[in-house]
């Protein structure tokens, strides 16, 4: 078993779930879906820093049709209960990070203020929005990784990691 599998076994609620990764062509409804989730999250939590991240936040980029929502909260556990009451399902509990699933399809990532992942996600989103070559390379990689079954979505994400780090270093 890999280090990633060991980690996933510790943090995933409900265990690893094999997944066929399929990309959708860019959809102009993705920003509206983000806004629906943002409004629902704000109603559940009150004021919070909420950003649309991930591929659905980049106009013109093919993506898994799942909106990624990044939420910065002062207390992870205190944020989970109201989000569950609002219809989200807790999927990941790891140090400094929680992920909840929502419908329409969304991953809601909770972070504590100052977590370096917050800035990394925003930097990568902004890079892809403004750099056509970075966007082209990233989409090319995503297309090469799509169409196969992965042991868990996290394996797919890990396969993209080297290019993401390279693109961010070159920024």
The mean pLDDT of the chain is: 95
**What is the C-alpha separation between 110 and 18, in angstroms, rounded?**
23
The percent of residues above 90 in pLDDT, for the chain, comes to: 87
Arithmetic mean of pLDDT, 84-94: 96
DSSP E strand stretches across 4-138? 19-20, 49-53, 67-72, 89-94, 97-102, 106-111
Go through the domains of the chain in sequence order and give each one's CATH number: 3-169 (3.30.460.10)
pLDDT tens readout for residues 125-169 = 999 999 999 999 999 999 999 999 999 888 999 999 999 999 999
Looking at residue 155, its pLDDT comes to 92
Own/partner pairs, 100-104, CB within 8 angstroms, 24+ separation:
102/37, 102/40, 102/69, 104/33, 104/36, 104/37, 104/67
């Amino acid at each position: 078993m890999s280090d990633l599998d060991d980690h996933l076994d510790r943090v995933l609620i409900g265990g690893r779930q094999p997944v066929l990764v399929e990309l959708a062509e860019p959809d102009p409804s993705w920003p509206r879906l983000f806004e629906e989730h943002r409004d629902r999250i704000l109603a559940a939590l009150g004021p919070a820093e909420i950003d649309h991240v991930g591929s659905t936040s980049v106009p013109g980029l093919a993506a898994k049709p799942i909106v990624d929502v990044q939420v910065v909260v002062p207390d992870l556990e205190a944020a989970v209960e109201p989000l569950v009451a609002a219809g989200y399902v807790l999927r990941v509990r790891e140090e400094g990070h929680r992920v909840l699933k929502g419908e329409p399809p969304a991953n809601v990532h909770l972070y504590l203020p100052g977590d370096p992942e917050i800035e990394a996600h925003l930097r990568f989103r902004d890079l892809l929005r403004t750099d056509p070559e970075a966007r082209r390379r990233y989409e090319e990689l995503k297309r090469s990784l799509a169409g196969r079954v992965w042991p868990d979505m996290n394996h797919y994400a890990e396969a993209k990691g080297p290019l993401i780090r390279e693109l961010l270093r070159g920024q």
